[in-house]
Amino acid sequence: MKPIGEGGMGVVYEAEHLRLHRNVAVKVLSPHSAPRPELIERFRQEAEIISRLEHPHVVTIFDFDVTEQAEPYLVLELLHGETLEQRIDREAPLALEDVVRIITQVASALSVAHDASVVHRDLKPANIFLTDAPGEPAFVKLLDFGISKNLRNGRRITDERFLVGTPEYMAPEQACGWSDLVDARCDQYALALVAYEMLTGTQPFAHEDLTIALRRVTNLNVTPGSWIAPWIPSELDCVLRRALSKIPAVRYGDVMEFSREFVSAARQPTSFLARRVFMNRCSALRALPVSPRAAFLLSRIDDGMTVADLLDIAAMRPIEALRLLVNLVSCGAARFDAANVTR
């Protein structure tokens, strides 16, 4: 077997299934994880959930078992392609039509899970796999139900005092540890964040400091996507704003309603010129040593905004932004009016 991926809880290997005579993916407990009973139970729950969903946009499971050393493993379909995280790192911002295609497929898979009272709880680009299928240039497979929550099962596998999920993609109620409020609306929130990241190339809450990331999730409102990428229809800003509301009750009734509204808003006319200018600028920025947040700053400088305005919109600490601006100037990526900077 050869390793092909690793997550927070397991390692995935490519292997040959001797009875099925086909190559498969085998997910085993990470060697860095102690074989605690709750981890074994999570493997078992993931197998049960995936096998019950049986959806074309959910990865297929063939088997679940435990080795003689009491190590659990899953046998899954072997996928060829890349994760959405890899696609975003390479191509962001993605074309609007590609974003729509991906969002509708993920929403379809989540809807089936929610109908089965299952909340994924860790939806993020790394858990969305894009594989080529006949007639489908980016066929979605939803991965990793290892920390999902079964709303019908009152038994808790993990101590609820601990946060479960990836901080920058958590809904506020999840980030605050309010486990009783974690339901399908958390997945809707995460899906809206994924859409935002595909459209703009930025993740608004990411930070290497966990405390700061969680503070951003709970307190920071997302900058309208059209402020970063002018070709995004303003109607799409409204859809994302509602799905990303800090108040769960304000979000859409279910993930399919969000998907329908997203598709409808995405069909609204946009400025071709604004889109072309923005895409050309992003292509040029990829050749420079700048982050997506730096690219965002550059994309707004031309509009005559002050540095104070930029700091407020980008939700950056002044010292963090100052270092960034100095680096941009030193590498020739931008020039700033002295009077503007002093403001």
Is 122 noted as a catalytic residue in this protein?
yes
- Looking at residue 33, the DSSP 8-state letter turns out to be S
Residue bearing tokens 């889109």:
275
How far is Cα 275 from Cα 151, in angstroms, rounded to an integer?
43
How far is Cα 199 from Cα 193, in angstroms, rounded to an integer?
10
CA 300 to chain centre: 24
- Looking at residue 289, the DSSP 8-state letter turns out to be S
- Contact call for residues 239 and 265 (beta carbons, < 8 A): yes
Residue type, 144: D
- Contact call for residues 96 and 274 (beta carbons, < 8 A): no
- Looking at residue 126, the DSSP 8-state letter turns out to be G
Residue type, 315: A
How far is Cα 246 from Cα 250, in angstroms, rounded to an integer?
8
Residue bearing tokens 């309603």:
257
Question: Which pairs from 308-314 meet CB under 8 Å and 24+ separation?
Answer: 308/343, 313/223, 313/227, 314/223
**DSSP 3-state assignment of 25?**
strand
Residue type, 135: G
Tokens representing 101? Answer: 């295609």
The catalytically annotated residue of 65, 115, 122, 187 is 122
How far is Cα 122 from Cα 130, in angstroms, rounded to an integer?
17
Q: In what order do the strands lie in the sheet with 128-133?
A: 81-83, 128-133, 136-142
Angle at 312 between CA 219 and CA 299, to 5 degrees: 120
Active site residues: 122
